[in-house]
């Protein structure tokens, strides 16, 4: 499984989700995209994004003000 990373730190809503949507187009189904963001609304935004797009939010953690999301491309 190829794993890609997207640095969206410092970006505000909706940019982290928009950049993740674009990056996921290059991720093969079954592989993951790890997104790092600092926007406080990112956890709710990425949960809604994954639900709306049919992808799986495999992990969502916060550490030192940085949110890390692992999105498995399903669709």
Residues marked active site are found at 13
Contact 75, 49 (CB under 8 A): no
Provide the CA 52 distance to its chain's centre, in angstroms. 13
Q: Which residues contact 56 (CB under 8 A, 6 or more apart)?
A: 50, 71, 72, 74
């Amino acid at each position: 499984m190829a794993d890609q990373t997207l640095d969206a730190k410092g970006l505000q809503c909706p940019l982290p989700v928009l950049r993740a949507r674009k990056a996921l187009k290059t991720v093969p189904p079954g592989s993951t995209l790890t997104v790092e963001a600092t926007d406080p609304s990112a956890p709710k935004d990425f949960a809604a994004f994954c639900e709306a797009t049919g992808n799986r939010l495999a992990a969502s953690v916060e550490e030192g003000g940085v949110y890390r999301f692992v999105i498995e491309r399903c669709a």
